[in-house]
Amino acid sequence: MRIVIFGPPGSGKGTYASRLMEKLGVPHISTGDLVREEIRNQTPLGKMIEKYSSSGGLVPDETITEILKERMRSGASKGFVLEGYPRTVNQAKELAKMTKIDAVINLIVPDSVIIRRLSARLQCKSCGAIYNEITLKPRVAGKCDKCGGELFRRADDQPEVIQERLKVYREASAPVVDFYRSEGLLKDIGNEDPNADPNEIVSQILKMIKPRP
């Protein structure tokens, strides 16, 4: 099964992607992870990306496409759950040339839920571990379970900043979402309940998808 998963920051996309990966027995391919790996291994592409990001520029479309192509060649024959790609209609067309997508999951979560969830996020100053005041509380308030470090709220998890990130996400993703809707591949999954069991959502997704002939 070849699946693309879309969702705003804080929609639980990563969680659903890794659970779907287990259920379907396919790899979870995240272009964000692939990019970090290229940089870590200091490959020619990795070095190029580093140069772009250190000068504050955006990594070109084609570079990400190249990295994904390489990943697809090195074993995605049984399928995949793809996250972080495509970000543009152009990339969606490139992806269609690489492989046939069976379904595109579009996670729909109200802004209020996302803001509540993300603004409850805390990070350890020393080791970087992530906590959540609602869903993943540290044992001692304000202190990291792992290293005892001080917990703080990241600047990009402040409500006004989250609102802006959501706006940016929506504007950027709308054309790609429309593209897949017109191709008949889009499956909308609503998640209004902030306390919904992720397993429930995953089984809902599994019921909606099937391989294309």
Identified binder of Zn ion from the candidate list 4, 26, 104, 124, rule CB under 5 A: 124
| 3 state SS of 107 | strand
Q: Is 36 a catalytic residue?
A: no
Give the residue with the Cβ less far from Zn ion, 128 or 175: 128
Q: Minimum CB separation from Zn ion for residue 150, in Å?
A: 9
Q: Is 78 a catalytic residue?
A: no
Q: How many of the chain's residues bind Zn ion (CB under 5 A)?
A: 8
The active-site residue out of 69, 116, 153, 165 is 165
Distance CA 90, CA 145 (A): 44
Q: Minimum CB separation from Zn ion for residue 49, in Å?
A: 28
Query: Counting contacts by CB under 5 A, is residue 149 touching Zn ion?
Result: yes
Give the residue with the Cβ less far from Zn ion, 65 or 123: 123
Q: Is 153 a catalytic residue?
A: no
The active-site residue out of 47, 154, 170, 210 is 154
Identified binder of Zn ion from the candidate list 29, 95, 115, 144, rule CB under 5 A: 144
Strand partners for 54: none
Token pair listed for 155: 């600047």
Query: Counting contacts by CB under 5 A, is residue 151 touching Zn ion?
Result: no
Query: Counting contacts by CB under 5 A, is residue 146 touching Zn ion?
Result: yes
Identified binder of Zn ion from the candidate list 96, 134, 140, 147, rule CB under 5 A: 147
108 closest CA partner among 208, 2, 4, 10: 10
Q: Which stretch binds Zn ion (CB under 5 A): 4-12, 135-143, 146-154, 173-181?
A: 146-154
**Element (H or E) spanning 158, and its range?**
none
28 closest CA partner among 13, 17, 36, 38: 17
| 3 state SS of 124 | strand
Q: Minimum CB separation from Zn ion for residue 152, in Å?
A: 11
Longest alpha-carbon distance in the chain: 54
Q: Is 97 a catalytic residue?
A: no
Q: Minimum CB separation from Zn ion for residue 67, in Å?
A: 31
Q: Is 167 a catalytic residue?
A: no
Binding site for Zn ion (CB under 5 A): 124, 126-127, 129, 144, 146-147, 149
Active site residues: 13, 87, 121, 154, 165
